């Protein structure tokens, strides 16, 4: 992310629980390609496309909830990134090449409607749900 964009747009900080820091390092570093920052015995900082994302060792997990969206059971909570369409397809290819399972396979949601977007859901090794999406028209991201 360029300095100009970073200065104009606040970056988010998100911390999530994981049950295995080595598995988190493999997934976030090797599979997703995030640069690792500072770390300790119980946490790792990641550069998540210019945002500070932290994996904290917390072996106990709670039960997940799902909400219906476009005929799919979307896991809640979840987090992810809005990508360009080419970035979305590149990431989908990397995830398939790494033999990752999808909660919801990559597909075109709301096809032909306002808000048309490519989306996919997967779980990280600790079970944290992630969504990556790419809008056909970026102006629709916050449309009502």
Q: What is the mean pLDDT of the chain?
A: 89
What is the distance between the alpha carbons of residues 42 and 80, in angstroms, rounded to a whole number?
A: 22
Rounded mean pLDDT, 22-29: 96
pLDDT at 1 over 70: no
Rounded mean pLDDT, 6-10: 65
What is the distance between the alpha carbons of residues 116 and 108, in angstroms, rounded to a whole number?
A: 7
- Token pair for residue 108? 């075109």
What is the distance between the alpha carbons of residues 20 and 41, in angstroms, rounded to a whole number?
A: 11
What is the distance between the alpha carbons of residues 44 and 21, in angstroms, rounded to a whole number?
A: 8
So what's the pLDDT on residue 6? 47
Is the link from the previous residue into 77 a cis peptide, with omega within 30 of 0? yes
Instruction: DSSP letter for 138, please.
Output: G
What is the distance between the alpha carbons of residues 98 and 96, in angstroms, rounded to a whole number?
A: 5
So what's the pLDDT on residue 144? 63
For the chain, list the domains and their CATH numbers. 8-57 (3.10.180.10), 67-140 (3.10.180.10)
Residues 76-94: tens digit of each pLDDT = 889 999 999 999 999 999 9
Rounded mean pLDDT, 46-55: 93
Rounded mean pLDDT, 51-75: 83
What is the distance between the alpha carbons of residues 72 and 86, in angstroms, rounded to a whole number?
A: 23
Q: Which residue has the tokens 């970035």?
A: 87
């Amino acid at each position: 992310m360029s300095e100009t964009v970073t200065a104009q747009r606040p970056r988010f900080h998100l911390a999530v629980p994981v049950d295995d820091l080595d598995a988190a390092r493999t997934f976030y570093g090797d599979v997703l390609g995030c640069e690792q920052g500072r770390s300790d015995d119980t946490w790792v900082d990641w550069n998540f496309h210019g945002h500070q994302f932290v994996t904290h060792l917390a072996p106990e997990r709670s039960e997940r909830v799902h909400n219906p969206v476009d005929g799919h059971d979307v896991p809640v909570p979840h987090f992810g990134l809005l990508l360009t369409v080419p970035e979305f397809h590149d990431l989908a290819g990397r995830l398939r090449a790494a033999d990752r399972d999808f909660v919801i396979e990559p597909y075109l949601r709301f096809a032909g409607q306002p808000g048309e977007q490519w989306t996919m859901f997967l779980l990280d090794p600790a079970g944290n749900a992630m969504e990556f999406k790419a809008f056909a028209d970026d102006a629709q991201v916050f449309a009502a």
